[in-house]
């Protein structure tokens, strides 16, 4: 099966740039995440999760979290802001 991030890692010389987490924001409506290590906060306006080295905070409206696999999740809704702290 094709994995976009695996293909990208083959091209990029410095893999340390993309080893912590991977995020794809699709039109501000769907956020696909690889590499999370746990959920910190969950509401319709804010979803935050841990990754190796920090926390990602997603702000928006009518946010819904779907955990696809152990370290992979999908957030849907109106995504207004994504911040790594």
Query: Which domains, from first to last, does the chain contain?
Result: 20-84 (2.60.40.2000)
**Which residues are bridge partners to 41 per DSSP?**
48
- Residue among 5, 85, 15, 77 nearest 50 (CA): 85
Instruction: Report the pLDDT value the prediction gives residue 7, as an integer from 0 to 100.
Output: 72
d(CA 64, CA 45): 9
From first CA to last CA, the distance across the chain in angstroms is 32
pLDDT string in tens for the chain (85-residue length) = 566 667 766 766 655 555 678 888 999 999 999 889 999 999 999 999 998 889 999 999 999 999 888 888 999 999 999 998 9
- Residue among 72, 82, 7 nearest 38 (CA): 72
């Amino acid at each position: 099966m094709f994995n976009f991030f695996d293909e990208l890692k083959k091209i990029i010389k410095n893999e340390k740039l993309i080893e912590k987490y991977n995020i794809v924001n699709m039109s501000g409506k769907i956020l696909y995440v690889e590499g999370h290590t746990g959920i910190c906060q969950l509401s319709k306006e804010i979803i935050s999760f841990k990754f190796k080295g920090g926390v990602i905070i997603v702000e928006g409206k009518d946010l819904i979290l779907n955990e696809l696999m152990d370290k992979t999740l999908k957030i849907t809704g109106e995504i207004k802001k994504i911040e790594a702290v």
